[in-house]
Amino acid sequence: MALQITDLVKRYPTGTEALRGVSLDIAEGEFFGLLGPNGAGKSTLIHCTTGLAQPTSGSIRVFGHDAIHDYEQARLAVGLAPQDLNLDWFLTVEESLDYHGGYFGMPRRERRERAKELLEVFSLTEKRDDRTRTLSGGMKRRLILARALMHRPRLLILDEPTAGVDVELRLELWHYVQRINAEGTTILLTTHYLEEAEQLCDRIAFINHGDIVAQGTSADLAAEYGVSSLEDAYLELVGRKELSRAHVGADAA
């Protein structure tokens, strides 16, 4: 298993139970989608997996390595492309990759070779000496992806990689991530675009209020909700539920 999450609970100091016993298995080589409305617990799950948040209980294994108590190996196996463009605006493109590699303990020579290779793959070679702040939006997105891949993670986590990007750039990013997956990297994607999940993902899980409520292929999910598309299944999950809650509220008033 690339990622094995068992009975994961995360309660924030505020008392919010963001994850209420989540279990999720992602096989090696899979392209897996995590879908759910705002506040469902997606970021919390990613933060627990990447060591940015401490779970309250449960276990997380990344390629068999305990990501909570023995996180060194687990951390090396995961690359995160965060939602926000958190680049250091004073570094050059090449430095951004090099520093990241250094942070993950890669020797200098290996860093240089790997950076060269990624700059080539992501069409950033000509920009390698430019400061990151001068890049176009699309180049910044590509650099975020390249940086996440720098230390050769076996599991790549993409947190809403296409939020707010135009159609052309979205298609371009899809092309890159499909290629990365085809080359063997396991991918966990969160997105609000159902079409994106449908196109890219082998399997999808719906998360809502800190629970995984359904998972399978997009056809499985449609069948589970008795509808004909992933979009309708998702609407069953969020839309109709909210409508019915409003209805109950109106009755009670």
d(CA 168, CA 145): 17
Which of 6, 12, 72, 179 lies at the binding interface for ligand ADP (CB under 6 A)?
12
3-state DSSP call for residue 205? strand
C-beta of 163 vs 243, nearer to ligand ADP: 163
* Distance between CA atoms of residues 44 and 47, nearest Å: 5
Write out the two tokens for 215. 């998972």
Q: Choose one: 8-16, 72-80, 105-113, 216-224; the region binding ligand ADP (CB under 6 A).
A: 8-16
- Least distance in angstroms from the C-beta of 201 to ligand ADP: 17
Question: Count residues contacting ligand ADP (CB under 6 A)?
Answer: 12
127 lies in the binding site for ligand ADP (CB under 6 A): no
Q: Residue 8 and residue 205: Cα distance in Å, rounded?
A: 15
Alpha carbon distances (Å) from 3 to 27, 79, 194, 216: 7, 13, 23, 16
Query: 40 or 221, CB closer to ligand ADP?
Result: 40
- CB closer to ligand ADP, 96 vs 190: 190
Residues of this chain, 27-66, that bind ligand ADP according to CB under 6 A: 36, 38-44
Give the DSSP letter string of 34-90: EE--TTSSHHHHHHHHTTSS--SEEEEEETTEETTTSHHHHHHHEEEE-SS----TT
Least gap, CB of 248 to ligand ADP (angstroms): 21
Nearer to ligand ADP, 37 or 102 (CB): 37
2, 8, 18, 157: residue in contact with ligand ADP (rule CB under 6 A)? 18
Instruction: Pick between residue 22 and residue 230 the one whose CB is nearest to ligand ADP.
Output: 22
Nearer to ligand ADP, 82 or 153 (CB): 82
Instruction: Residue 35: count other Cβ atoms within 10 Å of its Cβ.
Output: 28
Q: Torsion angle of alpha carbons 110, 113, 118, 120, nearest 10°?
A: 180
Other C-beta atoms closer than 10 Å to the C-beta of 14 total 6
**For ligand ADP, which residue of 16, 123, 228, 244 counts as binding (CB under 6 A)?**
16
What secondary structure letter does DSSP report for 202? S
Secondary structure letter of residue 133 according to DSSP: G
Q: How far is the CB of 243 from ligand ADP (least distance, A)?
A: 21
Chain positions contacting ligand ADP, by CB under 6 A: 12, 14, 16, 18, 36, 38-44
